[in-house]
Each structure stands twice: as C-alpha cells, then as structure tokens.
Amino acid sequence: MIAQVLEAQGLLTAFAFIGLVMGLSAAVSRYLTFGRIHGSAIAVLAGLALAWAGGSMTGGTHGLADIPMLSGIGLMGGAMLRDFAIVATAFEVDVAKARAAGLYGALALALGLVLPFTVGVLVALAYGYTDAVSLTTIGAGAITYIVGPVTGAALGANSEVMAISIAIGVLKAILVMAGTPFLARVMGLDNSRSAMVFGGLMATTSGVSGGLAATDRRLVPYGALTATFSTGLGCLFGPSLLYLAVRALIGG
C-alpha cells in the first residue's frame, strides 16, 4: 500500500527523499566535518553512492531510479528539470562579468575539446585500438558522455567502443562532480571568470554544474553557460574536424 502510493506519486516521493538526503548531508557537514566540507558536496557524493547502491541492487543503469518506489528521482534528475533549473540560474548572471571572461572563455572552450580528446585517443592507442573511428569515438567520450556516443553514432563505431566511450564520459562527470569542491581553492575557483574557464575546459555540463553547486552556488550559471557551449562544440567537431585530424595522423 505505502509502496504503491510512493510509486504512483513518484515526483513527490523524489522531492521528499532528496530533501531528506540534503538534510542528512547538511547535518553530516555540520557535526562530522565541522562545516569544512560543504553540505552540497556531501549530498552530491551521497547521491553517487546511492546510485551505486541502486545499480548494484537492481542491475539497472539508472542508479536509484531503477527501484520502482524511487523512480520519480529519474524525472527529478532527468534532462527536462535539470535544463529548466540550469536556465533559471542564468537569471543571476552579471552580463558585464560574463563579457569580461571573453578571450579566456574562448580559449578554454578550445582547450576543453582538444586536451581531453587527446588524452582519450592516446589511452585508446595504448590499449591497442588502431582504427580512426574507434580512436575518435573513445577520445570524444573523454570530452563528455554526450559527445562520445553522438560522435560514435555519426562515424558508425561498434557498440563495445560506444559503451567504453560513454563510460569514460560518465566517469569524467562523476570525478568532476566529486573532485571540484576539494580542489576549488587550488584551481582559484572563487570568481566568475575562473568559473567560465572551468566550465569550458571541463565541458561536462552535469559534472560542472554539480561540482560548482557543491563549491559555491553563485558560480554555477557562469560555469554552466560555457559548459553547454563546450558540449555543443564537441558534438559539432567530434565527428568532423577531430575525426579528420585523427585520420590524417593515423591514416585509416
């Protein structure tokens, strides 16, 4: 009976459940780390841990959302509401500040495509992949888990390479989400310009928005703005320019 109600009112269950997670995380932050680790950072880590638990229990690929009672979390954390909330944060963007990042932002966008792509291609080479399509698809996955499969589909990569490409992108997003709050000080993430550079370089919108949210909420719109453009550029250049570059270097 209870399970039935919770499942039928999925989104409300998700609001209540995530509220509970946020509350517990705030308490852990205050009493166990004495405020040193931000409550949001703990909440994001808790979310990832719960996703692991959910995935292990059900054998599914959607973390907690594969548990029928908690399926509403899939809607709450899905693309529609995520994009809606990200766009809402743009309301706080200071136009003068966004403009000041100009050249740096553009440089970060370009580096955000080339650097992770190169790392991905080199690692794939080291693990014995030699054809340009597989190398490009795996390299594109190191940009984001959206760019990877889009590139792979456009180039006709096989499903094993696609899965690897997506997995690299997902792991990258997870690492950025979890690592950013701890390395924020080293990276100088305390102003709008570095947040825009960070967004452009990391490219993964979910990783950037999660990581910045856990660091300083005011930085989110600046990072998310460049990250979404980075992802878009990746989808554009992955199957075209980057593929042609790899083919020219590898020859095949």
Q: Does 69 interact with other proteins (rule: CB under 8 A)?
A: no
Give a three-class secondary structure readout of 60-116.
Answer: CCCHHHHCHHHCHHHHHCCHHHHHHHHHHHHHHCCHHHHHHCHHHHHHHHHHHHHHH
Q: Does 141 interact with other proteins (rule: CB under 8 A)?
A: yes
Contact residue for other proteins among 135, 161, 225, 246 (CB under 8 A): 225
Q: Which stretch binds other proteins (CB under 8 A): 2-10, 27-35, 228-236, 243-251?
A: 228-236
Of residues 132 and 176, the one with the C-beta less far from other proteins: 176
Q: Which stretch binds other proteins (CB under 8 A): 1-9, 27-35, 113-121, 243-251?
A: 113-121
User: CA-based angle 23:15:208, to the nearest 5?
Assistant: 75
Of residues 77 and 136, the one with the C-beta less far from other proteins: 77
Residues in region 178-217 near other proteins by CB under 8 A: 179, 183, 186-194, 197-198, 201-202, 205-206, 209-210, 213-214, 216-217
Whole-number Å distance between alpha carbons of 159 and 164 = 9
Q: Give the x/- contact pattern for other proteins in 39-58, rule: CB under 8 A.
A: -x--xx-xxx-xxx-xxx--
The one-letter code for the residue type at 38 is H
Q: Does 243 interact with other proteins (rule: CB under 8 A)?
A: no
Q: Does 142 interact with other proteins (rule: CB under 8 A)?
A: yes
User: If you write DSSP's letter for every residue of 3-68 in order, what string do you get?
Assistant: HHHHHHTHHHHHHHHHHHHHHHHHHHHHHTSTTSS-HHHHHHHHHHHHHHHHHHHH--SSGGGGSG
